[in-house]
Each structure stands twice: as structure tokens, then as C-alpha cells.
Chain A
């Protein structure tokens, strides 16, 4: 069982999609639909049937731009303001214009969105600027419906293959990828004219407060492999200092989904049962307010539903306990929690990278192209901010449709056999040792260091110490880590991604000498926002010498102008509230 067998096979294809969660299946499906003669491979570390952030579905869309309820222009404005202005609007605008068509396509797949009694989408009002919440009462069907479409389209699906590195040609173009089977450690070299990375968040970066390595906010399979692979291929990564931190149910570490309860009248409250969030948008500012309340005498923070009618609570319970993280219900039963009586204790998540909820990701333009020719990225790992599930579907489609045209114009880039040989040696190194440190211990230590030194508020000296500790841990990982079977080998490769992400998190955070995005990049020794010097993206990459480097990049001129007054919407509100 899980024994290591040596072996390598090679396949060629037009497009290789890596990651079978949300964006990946849509990218592969749309590419194949646009050109049925193309050879499209969907590679997945787990099994496409139930992989990714939405393995158990989703309870709703919270960024649905539906005609009659909100406009793409409104949406772009809100996302721009929520990200403190550091947004290239073209990609967000494209998402906002395309997402309704994607909702309709998903509806056609049999994925259920809440409809009113006339069969029209029942969009829920959350705040007055825009209306974006569309519940999914049978959201548990998402993956099933998606997989059904992939099978009908006869896509080539490779399950249980973990991609480890991208291949690039001498001209810098993408040439394919190398992957290893997670059950027997056999290699698969895929030559491809284009590669689309859809590998999810870096969700195993911080350590959850429970100490359980896999008790993460994100699907624990999302260990940041895509971020690491893009980095090693020379792609630029944007704004990695803008961490993801989310509100959650304390200890359970899954979303409390106040946004699901919101339209029903539930909300996030302090220990007095009062609302305290001033911020209008899901943003780092909102998380800063959450954090402040947690630390204050009015903490901790709770999900409050007990003022609602029994019937209403029953409806919320059905959604929260059957979809996305259905073990939520089981957790509450263990704790003797009943939404009808007490409030449910909430907390904040460990840190991670995830554009789905914040803004850090592999830099992409409005066609999902990265800075490496022929390499695309979509979903939680690409830099389009506040994507959520619908953004993954929509931008996955954008990537697939662009890539399928691109591959018509190019031939395979040449493959560097020496690189492949060196990569195989790197991958298998832990299996060649009979003794050493197992991956789970290297991982625990790395993630404990992330918590100790990188969790905001960020402090310069602490982050420098983190870099020293990471370097020591890396030396152990490279020289002493031992994997006894193919499964442990997968974990050891994940540790390598986690450590790469930890290094990038520290490096990017040290670069931006200001505070921005609320809690996400709250630097205790640079507490002010500095628009004069830092109204820009940071783009991290690997230079020709193999060293980590970072530079500023201008924010593209806005397509949808933002008035000065709108930019400072929150700040003004807070001052008024205090006055």
C-alpha cells in the first residue's frame, strides 16, 4: 500500500489544467467546448469528484452581479474601495460582466440557486450599495453536477497526480509540467503548449489555534503548491503581504457564514449582543475591526441568531449544516450549542494566501495570463481580488477560452531533460533516506513559526527572525526529511510549498513599509497608510540568479473612476461614529 515504484511516463497535450476544484474544471470544460478537437488534460492531486474548496458544495454566492440587482460598474467600485484602491480594474470588470452568464450556465448544469416562486433568481439584499448574495439551497450538488459535465465532455482527467514543478523552454515560454503520483510515486511528464494553474489557496500556511495541522479554514489539500510552482517558473506574484484572514467558528475553524445569516437578520455581535462592524465591505478593514473587538473588553465575538423566529433559525440551520462544511452541525451538537438560545463563539482564522477572500495571488491580467508566456492562473491563487467561488468559475472560463486560441498559434516549447532529471532527484530525495525528520514535524514547525512571527500586527524584527528560522528549517527539509511511502512523499512536497509560501509572505511583508488593507497588512512599526510611496502593487518573483526579488508596479489607470469621497468612505464613517 502506497509503496514507491520508480517510473516515468510522458504525455503531450494542447492545454494542461492543473487543479480540479472550481476554476480548473471550468477552464478545461470551456477550452474543450470551444475546440472539441483539442487535447485538454485536467490534472488533480486528489480526485476531481470531490476536490477543492467546494468539495461539499457552497451555501451561496456572495458576489453575484445580476442585472436588475447590481451593475458591473457598482461592483468594480466596491472591490476597488474594499482593496484600498490597489486594484487593476480590467480583470474585475471582466469578471463582473461575465459572471451572470456563468451563473446561467451553472444553473443549466443542474446546480441550484435560490429562486423565488416564479423561478427567478432570488437575490438577497445585504447592503444598499449593491445586492450580491444569491443563496444555493442545494449547493451540495455543485461538484457532482460539474463532474457530470466533465464526463459528458469526455475530458481527460488524471486524478492523484501532484504537479511539482512547471517546465519552461529556453525562450521562457511554458513547456509543460512534471507531476508525481500520490499513491506510487511514479512520475508523469506532461508537455503542453499552455498550462492553466487552478491550484487553490495557500491554506496550510498558518497553524490553526487547535494545533491540528489539517483543521484549517481552507481545504487542507490546498497547501499553496500553485504559488510555489508559479514562483519557481519565474512568474510574478502580486501583493502577497495582503494576507487572508477570515472570521470563523472558534475551534471548528470553518466559516460561520454571517453572510448567509445576514439576509435572514443574523449578524456578528460582541459579548453584549451588539453589532460592532463599521465597515461596509468584506475587507481587511472589517477584519481589523473584528480583531480589535476580540482583543477588547467587549470580546470575544459571536454569531447572533437568537433574536430570530424559530422558523427562520430552522432555515438558516438547514443551510449551514448541510452545505459547504456540513460537520458544522455536528460540532455545535458536541458543544451543546443551539442558535435559538446562546450565541456562537467566533474567532479569526490562521493566515493564508487566497485571492478568493483577499487579494494576494499569482499576477494575472484580464485574460488570466501570468507574466510567463503560455501560463495562466485562475481561482483562489490568481490575483483578481475577492473572487470567491463564482470568480473561480468565471475566471477559469476566461483562462480556458483564451488559452485554447493561444495554443493554435504556438508549438511545443523545448523541454530541458536535465531539469527533469534534477527535479526527479529533488522530489525523491526524502524517499532515499532511512532516517530523519518526518514531513509532519517539519510542517508543524514551519507553521508554528508563521504564527509566531508573521501573524499581524506585523513587526519588522520578528519577520526578520522568521526568515532566519525558515532558512534553518529549509536546511532540515532539504537534507534530513524522510518519507517512507508515496503518501508521505506527497506530504513532504506540500511542506516544500508551505515553506516557499512562508518565505514569500515574510519577504513581501517586509517590502511594503506602510500599513494597508486593515489587519491583512497591519505593520506595527509602520502604522500609517502611505499613498505617496505605496499606492502600487508589489510584485514578487524569482530572479535569474534564483533569488527572491520584489518590485513596485503601478496600479493600472481606473476604468471606473472612484471619487475621493468614496475612497475614504470608511474612515469618514468611523470618525463620525466616534464624534
Chain B
């Protein structure tokens, strides 16, 4: 059986203009307890790869440049 890809609006948003992952920063990826953030090979910026968010906020709180915003996942908003 093939696997379907279902769209899902992810809660964590990264402002690529502010993100300094391309300079070697990995703070948001490191601090996520669910390990859902990654740094994109294409852009060198952080993004939410897996929609498995506890909306706990270390990624936003610890980001040195204020590039990360945690929204409440739509299903419980």
C-alpha cells in the first residue's frame, strides 16, 4: 500500500531573514524535546520537518535572533 502525504499546517514558523543556521547555529534544533526541527540542505535555514509539536517553546525562547515563532497547533487553537 502506498503512503499518502497529507497536508498539515505546522505550528513552528522560522523567519529565514533572521535565522543564522547557515552560520553554524543549531540552537532550535538542539533544544526541541520532540526533535521535529531540521536545517534545510537547500536554504541552510531551520524549518519544522515533522508536525509533532508540544508547543512548549524552547525553540523560540532560546533562538538568539528571535527568528522562531511557536503558534498553537490548529487542532487545539
Question: A contacts B directly in the complex (CB < 8 Å)?
Answer: yes
Asked whether, in the complex, the Cβ of A50 is within 8 Å of the Cβ of B77, the reply is no
Interface segment, one of A84-92, A324-332, A469-477, A558-566: A324-332
Question: Is B44 in the interface zone, CB < 8 Å from A?
Answer: no
Interface segment, one of A213-221, A283-291, A450-458: A213-221
State the CA gap A160–B26 with chains docked (Å): 14
B residues in contact with A268, CB < 8 Å: none
Give the shortest distance, in Å, between B54 (CB) and chain A (any CB): 5
State the CA gap A183–B70 with chains docked (Å): 23
Asked whether, in the complex, the Cβ of B33 is within 8 Å of the Cβ of A52, the reply is yes
Which among A52, A55, A210, A436 is the interface contact of B75 at CB below 8 angstroms?
A210
B residues in contact with A52, CB < 8 Å: 33
Question: Is A252 in the interface zone, CB < 8 Å from B?
Answer: yes
B residues in contact with A252, CB < 8 Å: 72, 76
Which among A47, A159, A330, A490 is the interface contact of B72 at CB below 8 angstroms?
A330
Question: Is A51 in the interface zone, CB < 8 Å from B?
Answer: yes
- Kindly identify, within residues 31 to 77 of chain B, every residue whose CB is under 8 Å from any CB belonging to chain A: 31-35, 38, 41, 49-50, 52-58, 61-62, 70-73, 75-77
Question: Is B30 in the interface zone, CB < 8 Å from A?
Answer: yes
Nearest B residue to A491 by beta-carbon distance? B52
Give the shortest distance, in Å, between B40 (CB) and chain A (any CB): 9
Q: A46-B34, A56-B61 are in contact. Are A220 and B52 (CB under 8 A)?
A: yes
Asked whether, in the complex, the Cβ of A212 is within 8 Å of the Cβ of B30, the reply is no
Q: A52-B33, A253-B76 are in contact. Are A214 and B58 (CB under 8 A)?
A: no
Of A50, A221, A252, A331, the most chain B CB neighbours within 10 A belong to A50
Give the shortest distance, in Å, between A203 (CB) and chain B (any CB): 10
Asked whether, in the complex, the Cβ of B61 is within 8 Å of the Cβ of A212, the reply is no
Asked whether, in the complex, the Cβ of B53 is within 8 Å of the Cβ of A334, the reply is no
State the CA gap A251–B71 with chains docked (Å): 14
State the CA gap A211–B57 with chains docked (Å): 21
Of A46, A52, A327, the most chain B CB neighbours within 10 A belong to A327
Q: A50-B62, A219-B54 are in contact. Are A327 and B72 (CB under 8 A)?
A: yes
Question: Is A438 in the interface zone, CB < 8 Å from B?
Answer: yes
State the CA gap A366–B6 with chains docked (Å): 49
Asked whether, in the complex, the Cβ of B34 is within 8 Å of the Cβ of A56, the reply is no
State the CA gap A74–B77 with chains docked (Å): 42
Of A55, A211, A219, the most chain B CB neighbours within 10 A belong to A55
Asked whether, in the complex, the Cβ of B58 is within 8 Å of the Cβ of A56, the reply is yes
Nearest A residue to B3 by beta-carbon distance? A438
Asked whether, in the complex, the Cβ of A46 is within 8 Å of the Cβ of B32, the reply is yes
Q: A220-B52, A438-B3 are in contact. Are A46 and B33 (CB under 8 A)?
A: yes
Q: A327-B72, A331-B77 are in contact. Are A140 and B61 (CB under 8 A)?
A: yes
A residues in contact with B72, CB < 8 Å: 252, 327, 330-331, 334
Which among B35, B58, B71 is the interface contact of A330 at CB below 8 angstroms?
B71
Nearest B residue to A324 by beta-carbon distance? B56
Asked whether, in the complex, the Cβ of B52 is within 8 Å of the Cβ of A214, the reply is yes
Of B31, B33, B73, B77, the most chain A CB neighbours within 10 A belong to B33
Number of A-B residue pairs, CB cutoff 8 Å, is 97
Q: A47-B31, A50-B31, A490-B35 are in contact. Are A215 and B76 (CB under 8 A)?
A: yes
Nearest A residue to B73 by beta-carbon distance? A212
Asked whether, in the complex, the Cβ of B75 is within 8 Å of the Cβ of A212, the reply is yes
Nearest A residue to B70 by beta-carbon distance? A327
Nearest B residue to A335 by beta-carbon distance? B77
State the CA gap A108–B30 with chains docked (Å): 26
What number of A residues sit within 8 Å (CB to CB) of B? 42
Q: Label chain A's interface by main secondary structure.
A: loop
A 137-168 to B, binary, CB cutoff 8 A, 1 in contact else 0: 00010000000000000000001100000000
Question: Is A124 in the interface zone, CB < 8 Å from B?
Answer: no
A 41-82 to B, binary, CB cutoff 8 A, 1 in contact else 0: 000001101111001100000000000000000000000000
State the CA gap A491–B36 with chains docked (Å): 11
State the CA gap A216–B34 with chains docked (Å): 12
Question: Is A487 in the interface zone, CB < 8 Å from B?
Answer: yes
- Kindly identify, within residues 1 to 28 of chain B, every residue whose CB is under 8 Å from any CB belonging to chain A: 1-3
State the CA gap A490–B73 with chains docked (Å): 22
Asked whether, in the complex, the Cβ of A221 is within 8 Å of the Cβ of B55, the reply is no
Q: A216-B54, A220-B54, A438-B3 are in contact. Are A55 and B76 (CB under 8 A)?
A: no
- Kindly identify, within residues 198 to 213 of chain A, every residue whose CB is under 8 Å from any CB belonging to chain B: 208, 210-213
State the CA gap A210–B73 with chains docked (Å): 10
Nearest B residue to A220 by beta-carbon distance? B54
Which among B38, B55, B76 is the interface contact of A1 at CB below 8 angstroms?
B38
A residues in contact with B34, CB < 8 Å: 46, 214, 220-221
A residues in contact with B56, CB < 8 Å: 55-56, 219, 325, 327
State the CA gap A438–B2 with chains docked (Å): 11
Asked whether, in the complex, the Cβ of B53 is within 8 Å of the Cβ of A214, the reply is yes
A 430-452 to B, binary, CB cutoff 8 A, 1 in contact else 0: 00000110100000000000000
A 326-344 to B, binary, CB cutoff 8 A, 1 in contact else 0: 1100110010000000000
Give the shortest distance, in Å, between A207 (CB) and chain B (any CB): 12
Which among A183, A221, A438 is the interface contact of B33 at CB below 8 angstroms?
A221
Asked whether, in the complex, the Cβ of A49 is within 8 Å of the Cβ of B1, the reply is no
Q: Could you show 23 A-B contacts with beta carbons less than 8 Å apart?
A: A46-B33, A46-B35, A47-B33, A49-B30, A50-B31, A52-B33, A55-B33, A56-B56, A140-B61, A160-B35, A183-B35, A212-B76, A213-B52, A214-B52, A215-B76, A220-B34, A221-B34, A251-B77, A326-B61, A327-B57, A331-B72, A334-B72, A482-B3
The 10 closest A-B pairs by CB, nearest first: A210-B76, A50-B31, A50-B58, A212-B75, A46-B33, A221-B33, A327-B55, A220-B54, A251-B76, A210-B75
Given pairs A330-B70, A490-B35, 4 additional interface contacts (CB within 8 A) = A1-B38, A210-B76, A215-B54, A334-B77
